Each structure stands twice: as C-alpha cells, then as structure tokens.
Amino acid sequence: MFKTPRYFFIAFAALGVAFLPACGARDSVAQSTPPASAAAQGFSLDTPVHVIVADPRGKAVLDRDLPGLTTNPSYGLFSDMSLTQLAAVSNGKITQANLDTLRTDLAQLK
C-alpha cells in the first residue's frame, strides 16, 4: 500500500542523477570556449577572467601583471568575474596601478 511513494522517490532520484552530468558539461563548455568576438575586439578590464585566460596572449598578460592569479586555488570561484570586479573584492591586493597596467597591456592585444 505504501510502495508507490517509495518508487516515486527512487524514480525522481534516478532522473535527477541522469541530468546532473549534462548540467555540468554545459557549464564547463561555456567556460572553456570564449566568445569568438571577444578575442577579435580585444580585452578590457570588464572582460571575464576566464575569457582572457582562454587566449594564450591574455593569459600571458595576466601571469606577468598579476602573478599567481591563474594558479590560485580559488580560481574557479572568481573566473567569471571581470578584473574590475575582482579588484573590488581583493582587499587591496589588486591596486589601481595594477589595473592601469593591465588596461594598457590588454589593449595591445588587439
């Protein structure tokens, strides 16, 4: 008599597990492939960090101007943020001088 709810929850859990890999795959593809227009238009301080890192030239600029940013253990938490947003939450670790240098160096990648 009470078997129906148990089977319902089992089926619901199985369907949920079946859809989880697809959700994760979509997110990883979105982060790993930058928009084609971003590289063509150049990068700015408002470009998400993961888009800059996807271009080897952009990654080289970040590695030179902000050493350790791309290898930070928390990279996955802030990779969707822009450099301007990241500076605002960095507790002074990313200064205005850093942003000025990055702006100049990223503008040269056009």
pLDDT given for residue 61 in this prediction:
96
Reduced to 3 states, what is the DSSP secondary structure of residue 109?
coil
Q: Give the H or E element holding residue 36.
A: helix 36-41
Q: Is the model's pLDDT at 42 over the cut of 50?
A: yes
pLDDT given for residue 17 in this prediction:
42
Tell me the pLDDT tens digit for each residue of 10-41: 544 444 444 444 444 444 444 555 555 555 57
Query: Can you give the pTM of this predicted structure?
Result: 0.65
For Cα atoms 81, 72, 100, give the angle at the middle one, nearest 5 degrees.
Answer: 55
DSSP 8-state code for residue 41: H
The residue count for the chain: 110
Question: How far from chain centre, in Å, is Cα 93?
Answer: 19
Residues 6+ apart with CB under 8 A from 41: 110
